[in-house]
Each structure stands twice: as structure tokens, then as C-alpha cells.
Amino acid sequence: MARIEMEHVTKQFGATSVVRDVNLDVKDREFLVLLGPSGCGKTTILRMIAGLETMSEGRISIGDRDVSDLAPKDRDIAMVFQNYALYPHMTVFENIAFSLRTRKVPQAEIERRVSAAAESLGLAQYLQRRPRELSGGQRQRVALGRAIVRQPAAFLMDEPLSNLDAKLRAQTRIELKRLHEQVGGTTIYVTHDQVEAMTMGSRVVVMHDGVMQQVDTPEGIYARPVNLFVAGFVGTPAINVVPAATQAGTLVVEGQRLPMDLSFLSGDQRVVLGVRPEDVHLDRHFLAEHPDAVLRGQVRLVEPMGHEKIVTIEVGESALTARVANEWNGVRDENVTLGIDVARVTLFDVDTGVVLARHSA
Ligand SMILES: Nc1ncnc2c1ncn2[C@@H]1O[C@H](COP(=O)(O)OP(=O)(O)OP(=O)(O)O)[C@@H](O)[C@H]1O
Ligand SMILES: [Mg+2]
């Protein structure tokens, strides 16, 4: 298995830059996730690593070997696509064995590797079936099996679960993770699904318009976003983004004052306040403990989710979403006091969206 390094990798299609100066060091055995909206360059990055697309500039090495000029077949990586296209006329066994046959691997070795892969993928009893006799999830696992038996230096996966239904996707996600722990292959996994990224990645790279925004652990991405794009891309419901201003050591939000240590800022300025829905509190307990860190507003929407409620509260011209316990029994149009956990909020620059500084309680 192997480490993957990208240095100053760029890609232009004609005059359009779709990948700009990507620098990435994927550790041996790591499960790294590339996360970003459609068109941000995720597939292009994978294809450049695989050698299916040329770089405009930059260098890629796999396992300390510069592969920049190597043909795809010489890079020793296996790619799993969203459209995994199994051979319909071949059995599961032959589909998984296909790449080994083309490499003239001896029959005994083929049988050994295919059985081992089928075992770990829960496909052992389906080896004689054809793809049309399998469920979508089983077919997806056959595609994974094809990649695993090659024992490549690294796996590249491009939204491999996206055409499974929600339940199967959650299940296959867990299986993939378990498989990675077993097989241990260095993996770069592409998705636009933040839940997939957060649950699977040892580290997550958030991409936007061909530019890496942040490389961090899932926890780091969520709790310490470097800019508004990252903050808004992860988390459901989304982070609250509210215009605010600093004034004489307090944060002014919709004409109301929140006490906050703003000593890290020089002078008064307009800012953007970012606060996660779970850091907006409506319960008596929080309000009693933090009597000053409050805003006043009016409930506009209550959405019961079963285990919690999502409450939208109008504060002046802004709306804030709160995630509250089921026991909270406020109703629409009710005037409420919202406790803001100021130790966990983030302030962003009005013009650039870049994080200004952060408080730690
Ligand atoms: N062969 C090509 N010629 C011109 N532009 C291309 C080509 N391939 C991709 N692009 C453009 O490059 C950008 C990045 O595409 P890419 O497929 O890498 O995005 P992505 O992040 O994988 O998106 P998605 O989530 O939709 O799969 C897009 O704007 C796309 O239109
Ligand atoms: Mg893509």
C-alpha cells in the first residue's frame, strides 16, 4: 500500500481552470474524502491520479514513485466508479476475476483472491449468479470486489454509493468502512454527500471551484471551518449565518447585544456571525446559566423530527434555526428568548467570508 502525494496540481480545459494548485499528502492506509458540490473538480482530480486525464501542471507520486508520466496501467491503482458496469453475461466470480485473468494470474491464485474478496464482501453465496440476479447493493459490492482482488497500491472511488437507495447507502457505507479497516488500502473517496464524508473520512478535503478550501478531520471541518463556504457545506440543518457588528466589546445582532470577548479584533467592524443550530438554546436551564447571552425573537416554524425539534425563530430581519429537545413545547408566533452559546460561535469577514477568529470557552 502507498502514500499519494499531489504537488501544485492544476488542470485547465482550454481557458477554464477546473483544478487549481492542489497540494495533498494522503498517508499510507488513510481513507481521505474529497467533498464538494457538483462541478468543483473532484472527478478530474481522481482521473489525474489514475492517469486517465493529463495534468496541466504539477506532480503526482504514489508510494514515493513519481507517476506523473506513467500510463494508467502502470500506476497500480484501482478505481471504482459510480457507474460500475459489470459484464452482464459473466458470473459474479468471473466479473471479480476479470482483471486477474487479463494479467494471466494462475487459476489457483485467482480462486484464492476471489474467494477472499467475496467472503469479506458477503458475496460468497452469489458467485455463480449473473449481475441481473443481484440487488443494486450486491452489484456495487461486486464492483468493489473487482478492485480489491487486484491488490493495488491505492483505491480511488468516485461516488460509488450514489445510485443506491438511502438505506442501502447507509449500510454499504458501514461495510466499506469495515472493508477498509480489513484491507487497509490507501483510499481517496469522492462524494458530494456531507454525511458520507463525515462518517467515512479519516480526513476530509472540502473543494470549491477547483480550489481546496480546508483539509481536516471531520470534527475539525465541522467545528472550525476556515470560511463561510465550508461552514455552510457541512451540517444539517445548515449553520445560521447572520449579519452582525462589533461595537465597544459586544457583538450587535439585529440591534441586540451579545456579550462576547472580542479583544482579538482591532476596532469595531461589520462581521458575519456563524452559529450552529445546536448552539441556539431555548431551554430554561441554559438561559438560567447564561442570562446575558440572549436574543429575543418570535417563533416562525416548529418542525418535530421525532427525537428533536427544529425551530425557526425570527430575530429582526434575520431567521435563526435552533435544534431543541422534544420536551420544548413552544408554538408558532410565541415570543421567545434564545440563548446563544457564544463560546462556540464563529465570526467571518464580511467581504471575504474568511474566519476572523474563534472563541474557546
Ligand atoms: N473534458 C472536459 N472538457 C471541458 N470541461 C470539462 C471536462 N471535464 C470536466 N470539465 C469541467 O470541469 C469541471 C469539473 O468537473 P468534474 O467532473 O471534476 O466535477 P465533479 O466535482 O466531479 O462534479 P460532480 O459532483 O458533478 O461529479 C466542471 O465544470 C466540468 O464541466
Ligand atoms: Mg464527479
Q: Where in the chain is the domain with CATH 3.40.50.300?
A: 4-233
Give the nearest ligand 1 atom to 190 CA: 22
Provide the pLDDT for residue 360.
46
Asked if 160 and 128 touch (Cβ cutoff 8 Å), the reply is no
Provide the pLDDT for residue 361.
36
The rounded distance, in Å, linking the Cα atoms of 277 and 240 is 7
Give the nearest ligand 1 atom to 41 CA: 18
CA of 41 to the centre of ligand 1 (A): 6
Per-residue pLDDT of the chain in tens (361 residues, 90 and over written 9): 699 999 999 999 999 999 999 999 999 999 999 999 999 999 999 999 999 999 999 999 999 899 999 999 999 999 988 777 899 999 999 999 999 999 999 999 999 999 999 988 889 999 999 999 998 888 988 998 999 899 899 999 999 888 778 887 888 888 888 889 888 889 999 999 999 999 999 999 999 999 999 999 999 999 999 999 999 999 999 999 999 999 988 999 999 999 988 888 888 899 999 999 999 999 999 999 999 999 999 999 999 999 999 999 999 999 999 999 999 999 999 999 999 999 999 999 999 999 997 644 3
Alpha carbon dihedral 329, 330, 332, 334, in 10-degree steps, equals 160
Nearest CA to ligand 1 atom 9: 44
Alpha carbon dihedral 317, 337, 255, 299, in 10-degree steps, equals 10
Nearest CA to ligand 1 atom 7: 13
Nearest CA to ligand 1 atom 12: 18
Give the nearest ligand 1 atom to 37 CA: 25
State residue 134 phi and psi, 5-degree precision: -115, 155
Nearest CA to ligand 1 atom 17: 43
Architecture of domain 4-233: 3-Layer(aba) Sandwich (3.40)
CA of 58 to the centre of ligand 2 (A): 21
Ligand 1: residue of 42, 47, 191, 205 to mutate (most ligand atoms within 8 A of CB) is: 42
Question: CB under 6 Å to ligand 1: residues?
Answer: 13, 18, 36, 38-44, 192
- Three-state DSSP string of 80-93: ECCCCCCCCCCCHH
Nearest CA to ligand 1 atom 20: 39
CA of 23 to the centre of ligand 1 (A): 19
Provide the grid cell at 302. 416548529
Architecture of domain 240-358: Beta Barrel (2.40)
CA of 70 to the centre of ligand 1 (A): 23
- How is the beta sheet containing 270-275 ordered, strand by strand? 256-259, 250-253, 240-247, 270-275, 346-349, 355-358
- Three-state DSSP string of the chain: CCCEEEEEEEEEECCEEEEEEEEEEECCCCEEEEECCCCCCHHHHHHHHHCCCCCCEEEEEECCEECCCCCHHHCCEEEECCCCCCCCCCCHHHHHHHHHHHCCCCHHHHHHHHHHHHHHCCCHHHCCCCHHHCCHHHHHHHHHHHHHCCCCCEEEEECCCCCCCHHHHHHHHHHHHHHHHHHCCEEEEEECCHHHHHHHCCEEEEEECCEEEEEECHHHHHHCCCEHHHHHHCCCCCCEEEEEEEECCEEEECCEEEECCCCCCCCCCEEEEEECHHHEECCHHHHHHCCCCEEEEEEEEEEECCCEEEEEEEECCEEEEEEEECCCCCCCCCEEEEEECHHHCEEEECCCCEEEEECCC
Identity (one letter) of the amino acid at 124?
A
Nearest CA to ligand 1 atom 31: 39
Q: Where in the chain is the domain with CATH 2.40.50.140?
A: 240-358
**Which one of the ligands is nearest to 192 CA?**
1
**Which one of the ligands is nearest to 44 CA?**
1
Asked if 20 and 55 touch (Cβ cutoff 8 Å), the reply is no
Nearest CA to ligand 1 atom 16: 41
Model confidence pTM above 0.85? yes
Ligand 1: residue of 20, 40, 162, 233 to mutate (most ligand atoms within 8 A of CB) is: 40
CA of 44 to the centre of ligand 1 (A): 6
Ligand 1: residue of 10, 16, 18 to mutate (most ligand atoms within 8 A of CB) is: 18
Ligand 1: residue of 17, 19, 44, 233 to mutate (most ligand atoms within 8 A of CB) is: 44
